[in-house]
A and B are shown apart, each in its own frame.
Chain A
C-alpha cells in the first residue's frame, strides 16, 4: 500500500506523453554505483487491517495514565481534554492544510492563530505572542537567543531551579556562541533575589526563571527580575531581559509573568488540551513585550485588510524569518506546531475565563489537600520549606522513608503512577533517591488520592 492513485495503464500513457519508455529512464541520472540493489531491507508492506492489529498489539502493551491514576508531572501534566477537540482537530481542513502563506486560502488557520496569540498574550499578561514554537524547552532557549540578540550581551543567568531539560537545551543552543551560561544557585528549592543581584552585572543579557519551578514551588519573579535589572540606570547598555518560564494553567490562578515584570514569557503549552503522547508533539508558547515585536522568533499572524477593505488576517513581519532573511533571521524555525496551537486555542475558548480559573483552582486545592495528608503520614515530609508553607501550585517534592523507586513500583501494582523520582536520569539525575515529585491535576479524584496515601503507607513498611 502506498496511497498512489495511478494505474499501470495510466503510467504507460504518461510515459508515452513524456516520450520515454520506462520509469527507469527518469532515474538514469543516478550513477549505477549509487543505486539501491534490489529492495531496501525493511519489513514487508502491511495491509490496513494488519497494521491496525500491529498498532493494537504495540499500543495495548503500554501502561500509562489511561490505565493508572497519574501523579507524574515534571513538565507534562495529565489534564482534562474536552471531547470535541479530538473531533474538531481531525477535520481535514485543519489537519491537512499547509502553513498559511497563501492568506486568501487560509483565513481559517490565520484567524485561529490570531485568536491563539491574543489568548496567550492575555494569559501571560504580555503584549504579544507568536503562533507557536516546538515545545517549552526550545521556546525558552529562543528567549535566550532573542535576549542575546537584543542586548548584545553575553551573560546568561539561569536559575538552578529551572527544569533540567530546559537547562540542557539552553546549554546546547548556546554552546557554540560567544556567551557564558551561569547558574543562579538555589537555597531550599528557591532562588533568592539577593543571589541574582550578586551575579547580575553589565554583561547580563537575561535571567531565566521558572515558576512554578522544577520542584513545583512558586518563585519570586518580581524580586528576581528587579534584581537582575538593577536600579534604573545601574546597568550599562541594554537592560537585561527577564525571561519567565511559566505553566499556562498556573497563570490562570497566580500572578502572570506580565504582573511580575517579565519581558518574555516562554512555556510549555501541553496542559492546554494536548495529549501527553510520551512527550511530544507539544506546544512552545512564546509571548513578549511589544518592544520586541521585530525580534520575535517564529511565525506571527497579524490583522490587515483585503482589496475590499475587509478585516482579514495574514502572516506578519515575515522579513524576520529564515525563508526571507536566511542567516540574519531571528530564528531558523520554519515548521512550528500549528495543529497543537489549534488544539490549545480550542481548549482556551471552551474553558473561557471562568472555566480555566475553576480548573486551576481545582489543581491548587487538590494538590494542597494531598500534600497536607502526605505530610501527616509517618516517615513522609514535604522536602522544601516553601512547600510546607503552601507556596506551590500543583506539584511538590515529598521526602520518602524509602527510595522513591520503591514507592513507584508499589503504586504500579495498585493502579497508580505515584510520581517521578527526583534522582531519575530522565529528570536530570540529581537529587536524593528518596525524593519523589508528585503532581495533582483536576483529573485526580479524592478516591485516587486516598489510594496514593495508602500506597505511601504500605511502601514505607515494605
Chain B
C-alpha cells in the first residue's frame, strides 16, 4: 500500500463572496487550491448582501388589508443573498461532508447501506409528495394502498400480527411500544408492572425511552461471551418480584455482534412471569428472511427503516420507526390505523377505544414509508434474505482479515461464534502505545473512511458493520488501512495523534465548545 493519506473527497470549497490573498494569486485555479479548503467557510450571516433576493414572488393580486399595529412584528433578521451565492453556499457545505455516496461507513449498529435512488424517485412523485394529510380517504387511495402494503410486509418480516407506521424514528418506536405495553397491563389490571429490563449493552435510547414512560429500566448483565446473562435476569426478577415485571427490551442480534443463543430462554423466562419481550430492531439487517422476531419469542418490536430498509440518513434524519406487535397488543396501537374494508377500499381508522392515542401529528413519516415500500418491493423475499446473508458474510470476512492484529472478544470461529452483521474489536495492544481510541477513528478519516462506532457497547471498542452493499475490495481496503494504522502507531504514535490532516478542518476541540456553548451566530 502506498504511503497515506490519499486525498479523499473533493474539498474545493472556495467562496467567491470572500476575496482573500489566495484568490488573487495568479497561479491558482479553484480546483488547485486544496489548502483553501482548510479555511473557515463564511456563514450565511457573513454573506449578507442587503437588498439581494434569491427568490421573488408574483405581484399581489388582491387588495391589501392592513395588519393591526398591536399584532404586527418585525421581519426575522435573516441575511439576504442572491440566488447564485445561495447555491454556492450549499454546494460548498456539501463538499465538507462524508457520505455513503462517497465514503465507506463501517458504523456498527447504524447500518449505513447504499440508499437506492429509485426510492427517492418514488417519494418525489407529485402523486405522493403533494398530498395533504387532512384530505379525504377517497382522494388518496393509491397512497393508502401503498401504506397498507407496507404495513402487511412489515408484519410478515417481523413474524408478528399488526404494525403501526406512526412512530417517526427508532427511539420514537420504542417509546410508542412501551406506551402500548403499559396500556395493555393497565387494561389487564396489572398497572403495577413497570419494571423493564435491558441488557447492559442496550442502545442508550432503551433506558431513555423507559424513563419517558415512567417505567424504570433495570440493566441486566451480559456474560463475558457476549450474551444476555440469564442468571442475572432470574436474580433481577426475584429482586423486583414477578408481578412487577413489565418486560425486557432486547436487541437481537445484539450489539456485541452476536445472535443471542439464549434468546429463547430469555423470552420463555420473561413470559413465564407474565412479562412481554420487546425487540429493538436496530439489527434486523442481520436476520431478514432467516428468522423473525415472532419466531424467537418477541411480542413487540420496532424497525429502524433508515437502517434496515435503506432510507437515507440525511445528516441525521428523517428516520422511521414502525412497530409491530402480537394481536393481543394491537388494540392499544396509535390511531389512525391504515385499514382495508371488505370492498377493498382503504381507510384511516381512528375508532380504536383502547388506543394509546397519538405520538405525532397526522399519520406517519409518509415519504419515508414510500422509500421503505419501494425497497422491500425491489428486493422481494429472496432479495431480502440475501441482504442478511451478504451483510453477515461481509462482517465475518472483515473480522477474519483483521483478526491477526486486532483483538475480538466475541468473534471465535473456532468455537462457532461468528459475527452477525457487525463485530466488536478492542485494540488493547495499540492503546498501550499511549494513543486514544479517538486517534484511530480520526486517522481513518484521513483514509476516506468514516470511523466505526466507538466505546460502545464496551469501553475502548470499535464496532464495525460493513453492510451488504459494500463491494469486496472496500472491505479488504478497510482491513489493510486498519493494519497500516496499527503500523503507524507502532512506528510513531504522533502520526495518529495529529490526525486528521486531510479533512476540511483539523481535530475539533469539543470540550472547549461545551464549556461555553455558542449555539447561534453572533456578529
Interface centre among A145, A254, A326 (most CB of B within 10 A): A326
> Which A residues touch B409, using CB under 8 A?
none
B205 at the interface (CB under 8 A from A): yes
How many angstroms between the C-alpha atoms of A163 and B210 in the bound complex? 27
Q: How far is the CA of A396 from the CA of B457 in the complex (A)?
A: 53
- Given A325-B208, A350-B55, is A43 in contact with B377 using a C-beta cutoff of 8 Å? yes
Task: Identify which of B38, B78, B128, B506 contacts A349 (C-beta below 8 A).
Answer: B78
- A1, A88, A280, A427: the one contacting B366 at CB < 8 Å is A280
Q: Does B289 contact A (CB under 8 A)?
A: yes
Contact B75 A353 (CB under 8 A): yes
B440-464 contacts to A (CB < 8 Å)? 441-442, 445, 450-451, 456
Which residue of chain A has its CB nearest to the CB of B112? A98
Contact of B127 among A66, A281, A282, A321 (CB under 8 A): A66
Distance of A6 Cα from B141 Cα, bound (Å): 39
B170 pairs with A172, CB closer than 8 A? no
Q: Identify the stretch in A34-42, A190-198, A228-236 within 8 Å (CB) of chain B at 4 or more residues.
A: A34-42
The minimal Cβ–Cβ distance linking B422 to chain A, given in whole angstroms, is 13
Is A72 touching B132 in the complex (CB atoms < 8 A)?
A: yes
Q: Scan A392-419; emit 1 where CB is below 8 A from any B CB, else 0.
A: 0000000000000000100010000100
Q: Say yes or no: A104-B500 contact (C-beta < 8 A), given A94-B314, A138-B359.
A: yes
Q: Is the CB of A352 within 8 A of B62?
A: no
Q: Mark B306-343, 1 if CB is under 8 A from A, else 0.
A: 10001011111111100000000000001010000000
Closest residue to B358 on the A side, CB-wise? A168
Residues of B within 8 A of A280 (CB): 133, 168, 318, 360, 362-368
- Tell me the bound Cα distance from A78 to B130 in angstroms: 9
- Give the docked Cα–Cα distance between A97 and B313 (Å): 6
Are A337 and B318 within 8 A (Cβ)? yes
Q: Are B55 and A281 in contact (CB under 8 A)?
A: no
How many angstroms from the CA of A65 to the CA of B127 in the assembled complex?
9
Question: How far does the alpha carbon of A119 sit from the alpha carbon of B75 in the complex, in Å?
Answer: 12
The answer on a CB contact under 8 Å between A103 and B508 is yes
Q: Across the interface, do B127 and A102 meet the contact criterion of CB distance under 8 Å?
A: no
A-facing residues in B343-375 (Cβ within 8 Å): 348, 350-351, 356-368, 374
A453 interface hit (Cβ, 8 Å): no
Q: Is B124 an interface residue (CB 8 A)?
A: yes
Contact with A along B55-66 (1 / 0, CB 8 A): 111001111110
Cβ of A276 and Cβ of B129 under 8 Å apart? Answer: yes
Q: Is A215 an interface residue (CB 8 A)?
A: no
A70 at the interface (CB under 8 A from B): yes
Complex CA distance for A335 and B132, rounded to whole angstroms: 24
Closest to A425 in B: B350
Q: With contacts A350-B86, A365-B60 known, is A305 near B509, CB below 8 A?
A: yes
Q: What CA separation (Å) do A56 and B107 show in the bound complex?
A: 35
Instruction: Return the contact of B57 from the options A176, A362, A446 (Cβ within 8 A).
Output: A362
Q: Which A residues lie within 8 Å of B378 (CB)? A: 1-3, 45-46, 48, 51
Measured CB to CB, the closest approach of chain B to A222, in angstroms, equals: 10
Q: Which of B78, B112, B171, B179 contacts A352 (CB 8 A)?
A: B78
**Cross-chain contact B504 with A107 (CB below 8 angstroms):** yes
Q: Is B517 at the interface (CB under 8 A from chain A)? A: yes
A138 and B290 in contact, given A61-B127, A122-B78, A176-B213 (Cβ under 8 angstroms): no
**A277 lies within 8 A of chain B by Cβ:** yes
Residue of A nearest to B211 (CB): A327
Determine if B213 and A369 form an interchain contact, defined as CB atoms under 8 angstroms apart: no
CB-CB under 8 A from A1, the residues of chain B are 378-379, 383
A462 CA / B289 CA spacing, docked (Å): 56
Bound-state Cα–Cα, A445 to B62, Å: 9
Instruction: Give bound CA distance, A359 to B53, whole Å.
Output: 13
Most buried by B among A18, A55, A125, A429: A55
Q: Mark B474-509, 1 if CB is under 8 A from A, else 0.
A: 000000000000000000000000001001111111
Say whether A349 contacts B211, CB under 8 Å: no
CB neighbors of A among B149-200 (8 A): 149, 153, 156-157, 159, 168-172, 174-175, 179, 182
Pair B361/A163 contact, Cβ less than 8 Å = yes
Chain A residue numbers with a CB within 8 Å of B224 are none
A354 to B93, CA, bound (A): 24
A119:B78 contact, CB within 8 angstroms: yes
Contact B120 A353 (CB under 8 A): no
> Which chain A residue lies CB-closest to B48?
A352
Would A366 and B139 count as touching, CB distance under 8 A? Answer: no
| Cross-chain contact B71 with A3 (CB below 8 angstroms) | no
A302 touching B519 by the CB < 8 A rule?
A: yes
Q: What's the Cα separation between A450 and B208 when bound, in Å?
A: 52
Distance, CA A300 to CA B512, complexed state (A): 15
Instruction: Determine whether the beta carbon of B72 is less than 8 Å from that of A253.
Output: yes
A42-B376, A61-B142 given. 10 additional CB < 8 A pairs? A35-B290, A95-B312, A105-B500, A138-B361, A172-B356, A280-B367, A334-B203, A362-B60, A408-B136, A412-B139
A-B contact pairs, 16 of them (CB 8 A): A45-B378, A59-B142, A84-B83, A91-B91, A96-B312, A100-B315, A104-B508, A122-B520, A302-B514, A305-B509, A319-B514, A323-B456, A350-B54, A350-B81, A370-B62, A445-B61
